Amino acid sequence: MFSAKGRAIQHSADPRDASGRVAAHPAPPVVNQLLQQGQVICTDVVGNTAGLLMRVDDGTVTGSVFYATAVDNGPGNKDLAGFLPATESSSCAPGLAPTQPVTSGDITVRQY
């Protein structure tokens, strides 16, 4: 389990036309992993699920790129998220099966 917060915005139909910032932190009892924060470099939304790429600029793996999927399960329900190592050329389409509940905060996924 982990806590996550952030905001990702897709400015056009191009998933790489994105901005935002994401932070994630493992929940106890994982104590040797620190908060990872970074810039959103790609985001894509399908239904209640968003995929994104972030480049870590503050954390134990600065410079690394991670792929994340976030699932908004609505008010009162636990949202889900999953992370995998990636490269800047990786796809950001939502496709990673969420594996962990978000223990703090609320994921909101919207399409405009």
35-75 pLDDT, tens digit per residue, is 688 999 999 999 999 999 999 998 778 899 989 888 999 98
Q: In the prediction, which pLDDT does 107 show? A: 84
**Across 79-93, average pLDDT:** 89
**Across 2-28, average pLDDT:** 82
**What burial class does residue 100 get, using C-beta atoms within 10 Å of its C-beta: 0-12 exposed, 13-18 middle, 19+ buried?**
middle
Quick one: which of 11, 3, 71, 69 has its CA closest to 37?
A: 3
3 state DSSP class of 52 = strand
Tokens 């992370």 correspond to 83
Name the residue type at position 17. D
pLDDT band at 30 (very low <50, low <70, confident <90, very high): low
3 state DSSP class of 86 = strand
